Amino acid sequence: MAQDDIVTPDQSIPDTTPAATAFQTLSPAERKTFWASFGGYALDGMDFQLYGFVIPTLLTVWSMSRSEAGVIATVAILASAFGGWIGGIMADRFGRAITLQITIAWFSLFTGLSGLTNSPEQLMIMRALHGLGFGAEWAVGAALLSEIVSANHRGRLLGFVQSSWAVGWAAALISYTVTFHFLDDATAWRVLFFIGLAPALFIVFVRRHVRDSRVFVETRQHSEQGGIARLFSPEIVRTTLLTAVLGTGVHGGYYGVMIWLPTYLKTERNLSVLSTSGYLVVIILASFIGYISAALFLDRFGRRKTFLIFSAGATLTVILYTLVPISNSLMLVLGFPLGFFAAGVSSGCGAYFAELFPTAVRASGMGFAYNFGRAMGAVFPTLVGILSSHILLGAAIGIFTTCAYALIWCSLAFLPETKGRVIAAA
């Protein structure tokens, strides 16, 4: 690789630029890397969300049970945890850029193949294989971008990348709306999955414009290889365990809210607005704004304070939902803080995890912590369901949401603030 092709960060820029111009401080090569990370995660989110839109159709077309639909979703999430670990190891060993291409190709392929399945069992296999690529993409893209941007702007830029999840969610909603408007349901769900092949075209952009950072290249040349075992070495194991707990809190709180709260409001509060596109638009827009706002908070107030502010806001919002009488019209209004705070909690994961792990194992550490949290977080909706058979569903949601976010607060008590930390070669 030519030296001119290696991207290196400029750490000399003072933190005085407004958010709108933070992107303008990037060099042309850095901007292409930003858009590669942003686009990759947006497409990742789009492909993941497609399944949720086809569930009602499959319940009818295949006579699939709700429990089967839930098992398929859970298997995909669990597979994504393993994918995140594998992708992180590959990125540390073979490079961020090439691994990013592989992950995008992988989740695109198996999303498309999901449209050819003819039974819940076949679909579960395809979604599990999709999960491997889905889980890997985030860690690889975040590690790549974290190593090329200024420490002064890392929080907001990686937070902006996190916001692309909402963009992908919106793309999935648009694809679903158009597809099911013009096609009959029995055909539309297959076509929707076929649309999930489109992200593979993005590989052309990544291959042409994205290179590994100078920090990573120099580290690989002059230090020992990383690996999952090194994450549990005496000098790193504390960070590995604490970030895994933090990741569990982030995902457990999000899944517990987003999966069960709509059911609670519809069945116990008898609200109908939850099934409308208007409600989805509010939640998606609020999520996008939440990601962006948290990104700005990260560089202004620090990583730890941002996690605390948004997790506390998410907890209070859920308590409000479960205690205050809500009408359909008020639901549309209160849907905004729900999406805002729940999404904003995860906005800091990219910058914070990148700054906590050394370069040799950065992608492995980020992939492990984030996706361990995703796997453990997937258990929280199950726990809510079990507890709701003994107490009110609203109370169960409130208890486990608070428990999840309490994990964030506990882990932050033992993790350092990393705002402004320079990422250098090992």
Print the SS3 string covering 118-178: CCHHHHHHHHHHHHHHHHHHHHHHHHHHHCCCCCCCHHHHHHHHHHHHHHHHHHHHHHHHH
Asked if residues 408 and 345 have their Cβ atoms less than 8 Å apart, the reply is yes
Amino acid identity at 260: W
The DSSP bridge partners found for residue 7 are 213
User: Which pLDDT score is estimated for 227?
Assistant: 65
Angle at the Cα of 424 (from 422 to 426), degrees rounded to 5? 140
pLDDT at 374: 87
Which amino acid is located at 313 in the chain? G
How do residues 287-330 score in pLDDT, each as one tens digit?
A: 999 999 999 999 999 999 999 999 999 999 888 877 777 776 77
Q: Quick one: pLDDT band at residue 266, thresholds 50, 70, 90?
A: low
Percent of the chain with pLDDT over 90: 42
Tell me the Ramachandran region of residue 355: left when phi exceeds 0, alpha when psi lies from -120 to 50, beta otherwise: alpha
In sequence order, the β-bridge partners of residue 51 are none
Q: Using pLDDT thresholds of 50, 70 and 90, give the confidence band for residue 275.
A: low
What is the model's pLDDT at position 10?
43
CA 154 to chain centroid, in Å, comes to 17
User: Does pLDDT of 189 surpass 90?
Assistant: yes
For helices 362-377 and 379-387, the axis angle rounded to 10 degrees is 20
pLDDT band of 8, cuts 50, 70, 90: very low
- The 10 Å CB-count burial string (b at 16+, else e) for 2-28 is eeeebbbbeeebeeebebeebbebbee
Write out pLDDT tens, residues 12-63: 344 445 555 677 788 888 899 999 999 999 988 898 889 888 888 898 899 9
Q: How far, in Å, CA of 199 to CA of 102, rounded?
A: 12
CA distance 344 to 40: 19
Distance CA 289, CA 160 (A): 10
- Flag whether pLDDT at 2 surpasses 60: no
pLDDT band, residue 1 (cuts 50/70/90): very low
Instruction: Tell me the CA distances in angstroms from 204 to 26, 108, 109, 199, one per residue in order.
Output: 22, 14, 15, 10
Six-digit token pair at 76?
A: 């995909």
Angle of helix 202-209 relative to helix 96-114, nearest 10 degrees, comes to 170
